[in-house]
Structure 1
Amino acid sequence: MLDVLLAWNPDDPAEPAGGSKFDTLEVIDWATEGAMERATELRNLEIPFKIKNMPELDEVAKKWADDDYVIEGMSSRKSYTINTAHNGHFMFYQSNAMAKELKKSLRPANGYSSSKQASNAFKPRGYTFDHPPPVPLPMSFAKFWEESAALEEANKAKPPNEDAESRHLYLSTGDSWEGAGDTMISRDINLFEKDAPTRDLFIPEPTDVRGQHCRFGMRGVVAEQHWDGHRNFIYMLRGMKRYVINPPAACTAMDMMHSGPSRRHAGIDFSDPEAISDPETAAQLDKAQAVETVLRAGEILYMPSFWLHYIVSMGRSIQCNTRSGVGHMYGEDAAGINKCEVGRSPPPATPEELATATAKVEAKINDFRLPQAARWGRSKA
């Protein structure tokens, strides 16, 4: 995990030249013979994988590339709850009550509370993350889509570190997964209908389905690292997102919040140089297995139950997902999640582990900390 982070700071949404050397997930070409069988096999083994060249999704992605189509398709509802933050970090917060209390002080016209003040206010509730949770605001979809586009254009002119500390907007909303909803989500996505050949793959347990959810994001929005209890099929329908993925056994290395409104989420800001250069933190991250991938429009990613994932929107994006059933864990993966659930810390790093991690950090922390001149070319692309 440490190598993945040092090679590409999450606050820089631009893909490195040549891509990531840590993208080793198997990619199944849906146009090839045996694709369904291979995807089902990997799902049953609880191994993450990707699917590409699925005509049904490619068709939706073409439609959703049109802004007018998206605005019309999501405007059957008068208002949505839009999450807003004065940086790119959007931490899940189970109850918005505390965020609402800060709403006035977080309004742009009145200036923002400091991250330190806000995080201290949440700590009694088990919230240990450095940034305050996002503030919910009612807004029409058209206003959200247009305002987020304007913010994104303004942020592109800034270095990655300044972009990350600018205002961002994010929408998470759901709809029916069987075509009976009121937006383009249920109307256009037909992977789960009863006669769809893909239904058994994506809905392994029809009696335990957690709906269909879509997330509309802008460049630089970060969904902090977390795990979900259900099998999760994630499909990208516009733009690109970076996914950093860890097996359940890595859970104890991530300083997970095991209670409170952000339970199941990491308490570490992985984009903060001071956080990841702490010797003990760096040593624990260095021991944690990780893989990353860029999910592009028309592609599907399978995320098994309890696997950790950290997500960065690399541009204007629409990503949907559906969850069905709970997968099985064995051995160290089951032990890792169980330890996280009760808040058990990993064993302290050995002197050798500390020395190895410290050397890695010292060698690359300057590239991690500051956007270099070479980054500007790709950050503006």
Structure 2
Amino acid sequence: MRPPDVVPYDIYHCPDIPPPNYPYEWNALQVLDHWPIDDTDVPVSWHQGLCVWDARVHIQQIETYLQAEVPFVLQHHPEVMATAQRWSTPGYLHSLFVHKKQTTEHSINNQFLFWRPLSFMTRQIPNSKSTIDHVDMTFAEWYDKAQALQLASEPQATQEHWYFRINGIQRMQENLFLYDELPYFKPQKSWFMVEPEQERGINCRFGMKGAFAAAHFDPTRNWITLLGGTRRYLLSNYTQCANLQLYPIDHPSQRHSMVDRSRPREYLEEHPSSSFAQATVNEVVLQAGDALYLPTSWFHAIVSLDINYQCNARSGVTPESFPTLRECGFGN
């Protein structure tokens, strides 16, 4: 894979320290025109500015990029690879999750936009409601639906989607088997647990082909591991906050972009004063066994390119993004 435009460094042979203005980004409209959100066929090239490091040989470089708090892709980590190999074994996940039902997000199409129920943190939005609901479903039930969707002749974007979820939370003694399945996320000092005392559990999200999770930021560090299938991530620096048109802090979809990236130019026609036309992004395509490091408050949108399994964990916060986020209305 080579990016459509020349990047001022080789993403597979990056400098030992992050180069100036790393990671390289492109205009968001240019990226979305080149590879539309609802297209799940992987093109010959895409817009990647993130460096790719091999966990077997680039130990010093990985630690340097972690200390610099910049995003990058990690490959060939033995524990991540071992989990991905187990999870790819036919029948393994069916036996791992047995028949216990999990809360699963459901959408009438491929769009998944976070929505917090009305609480002291949110306000009532007139004529507005969530586009997703929740159902209880076993992994086997979800997988059958995912396979049927994968084989469907109709465009995936117009079909119902389900987003299977399971969390492991050590302090609450919840689904502790996930810490055995993903030992790299155990709360002990490592690349994946920068501040283990601040760990927030393991979050696993299984996507069907075509599912799209809206762009948003998490106010913590984030390590993402892909353990099956293929996912596309569109990333933006927290400095792009004003351009990404976020729902405000008291909105049920707080921290998420209100721009429909399936139809970004239509959004701009309807909102001519929007600065989204100046937004910049880059993108990565993760495959089973890959890991992605996102520093505090980095924006990410997610496209499922097939049936896939993602697990991530967060640990600790760094303050670099706070002034920018305050300017965008996200206070303390």
TM range (shorter): 0.7 to 0.9
The equivalent of 1:170 in structure 2 is 163
Q: Distance in 2 between matches of 1:168 and 1:189?
A: 26
The equivalent of 2:20 in structure 1 is none
| 2:235–2:298 Cα contact (<8 Å) kept | yes
| 1:46–1:328 Cα contact (<8 Å) kept | no
Q: Distance in 2 between matches of 1:64 and 1:57?
A: 11
Structure with the higher helix share, 1 or 2: 1
Tell whether 2:229 aligns with 1:239.
yes
What SS is found at the alignment partner of 2:190?
helix
The equivalent of 1:100 in structure 2 is none
Tell whether 2:143 aligns with 1:145.
yes
Which of 1 and 2 has greater Rg?
A: 1
What SS is found at the alignment partner of 2:166?
strand
Q: Superposition RMSD on alpha carbons, in Å? A: 2.7
Match for 2:327: what amino acid? K
Q: Which residue of 44, 47, 52 corresponds with 1:27? A: 52
| Offset at residue 38 of structure 1 (A) | 1.9
The equivalent of 1:224 in structure 2 is 214
| Offset at residue 200 of structure 1 (A) | 2.3
Q: Distance in 2 between matches of 1:19 and 1:282?
A: 32
The equivalent of 1:93 in structure 2 is 115
Q: Distance in 1 between matches of 2:256 and 2:274?
A: 20
Q: Which residue of 295, 317, 326 corresponds with 1:338? A: 326
Match for 1:141: what amino acid? F
Tell whether 2:8 aligns with 1:15.
no
| 2:245–2:274 Cα contact (<8 Å) kept | no
Match for 2:45: what amino acid? G
Q: Distance in 1 between matches of 2:322 and 2:169?
A: 32
Using the size of structure 2 for normalisation, the TM-score is 0.82
Tell whether 2:111 aligns with 1:54.
no
**How big is each residue's C-alpha offset from its partner over 1:146-192, in whole Å with a ceiling of 9 and x where there is no partner?**
222212222xx23xxx32011111112201469x7647532221113
The equivalent of 1:111 in structure 2 is none
| Offset at residue 92 of structure 1 (A) | 1.0
Using the size of structure 1 for normalisation, the TM-score is 0.72
| Offset at residue 335 of structure 1 (A) | 4.0
The equivalent of 2:257 in structure 1 is 266
**How big is each residue's C-alpha offset from its partner over 1:63-111, in whole Å with a ceiling of 9 and x where there is no partner?**
1113411111012x621111111110011112289xxxxxxxxxxxxxx
| Offset at residue 255 of structure 1 (A) | 1.3
Q: Percent identity?
A: 28
| 1:81–1:139 Cα contact (<8 Å) kept | yes
Q: Pairwise mapping of residues 184-203 of structure 1 onto structure 2 (< 5 A)?
A: 185-193=178-186, 199-203=189-193
| Offset at residue 286 of structure 1 (A) | 3.5
The equivalent of 1:84 in structure 2 is 106
Name structure 2 gaps, 5 residues minimum: 1-27
Q: Distance in 1 between matches of 2:167 and 2:118?
A: 18
Q: Hey, which bits of structure 1, 4+ residues long, moved more than 6 A?
A: none
What SS is found at the alignment partner of 1:266?
coil
Q: Pairwise mapping of residues 124-143 of structure 1 onto structure 2 (< 5 A)?
A: 124-125=124-125, 132-143=130-141
Q: Which moved more, 1:234-243 or 1:57-66?
A: 57-66
The equivalent of 2:12 in structure 1 is none
